[in-house]
Amino acid sequence: MREISYEEALALSAPVFVDVRAPAEYRADHIPGSINMPIFDDGERALVGTLYRTHGEEAAILKGAEIAGSRLSGMIEEISRIKERDVVIACFRGGMRSSALVSLLDSLGLRVYKLKGGYREYRRSVRERIDRLDLAPDLFVLHGLTGAGKTRILRKIDNSIDLEAMAGHRSSLFGALGLSPTTQKMFESLLVERVDAVRGLNYVLIEGESRKIGDIHLPTRLMERMAHAPCILVRASIERRVRNILDEYPRDTDPELIRGILRSLEKRTGIRMARELVRLYESGRLEEFARLLLEGYYDPLYSYSLKRMSFIAEIENEETNEAVHRVLELVSKEKKY
């Protein structure tokens, strides 16, 4: 059986990782780009685990073999379709699930590798990378008030790291609406992958964030690097910011969810403003609602910190493509020195 470490697998000419863990394990975190071919579904994995705890290892193995047997032919067929690439099989700890499958595939003449240590070893590698995160290129940070269109600018620039997309959250009070937030582990996997992707570029743009995006904690090394990077301030009129907010957020959100979020603001905005926001939202006056939310809540929250920062330049964002052009001009000029 050919075992290979995660670092060795990355050095292969065309590796493809096949993750045989249950779907819930895969959703929580996985090697970016890997294919999920679960030997057990979530319910089956729970059943085998219960048997192991209540009846012992032998009973769990027998039940696991019974379940896996019904699924193996389909898995073999799928893996045969990608046999021209370097197939690396991974389970949680490089144990029974991946070993059994790799042995079977070997016996059928299919050249595959087993990931040594499985997902757990991959996760160790990610944690080490996060702790010493190295953003080699020059870093520039976009700042601005809520709704100024920073994320829209960022997503039109190839040399960028989109932290909010990785987190599945817009980094605001209503940031999770219409999105599927990722786990901390998945965020870190995506971040390490993106840092590797931009390593050879001359510069990288990123959006200024606080220490948390939703429930995601940003790595200390990343926050330190952002704190010392040149900053560009993105400005936009209140009318433009209101349009950006209304365009970005879904209109079909459960009204009770919105009311719950607004009620949580009462201690910060006062009961009167919180109730006015609820009234505007429920009456469908969304432009007024967004404007009051920006001017009455977000702007006081962020204006003070922006005033304390220094910027290499300020740009007006009344049209996204023009703002992108201006940002790229600024970065290009800065890189000449």
Which sequence positions are flagged as catalytic?
A: 91
Question: What b-and-e string marks burial along 75-93, b requiring 16 or more CB atoms within 10 Å of the CB?
Answer: beeebeeeeeebbbbbbbe
Rounded CA separation 210/226 (Å): 10
Rounded CA separation 239/83 (Å): 55
Rounded CA separation 227/219 (Å): 12
Q: With helix as H, strand as E and coil as C, how does 48-59 read?
A: HHHHHHHHCHHH
Beta strands in the chain (DSSP E): 3-4, 15-19, 35-36, 86-90, 112-115, 138-143, 160-161, 203-207, 212-213, 216-217, 231-235, 313-316
Q: With helix as H, strand as E and coil as C, how does 72-83 read?
A: HHHHHHHHHCCC
Identity of residue 111: R
Q: What is the H or E stretch that residue 295 is in?
A: none
Q: Is 39 helix (H, G, I), strand (E, B) or coil?
A: coil
Rounded CA separation 147/169 (Å): 15
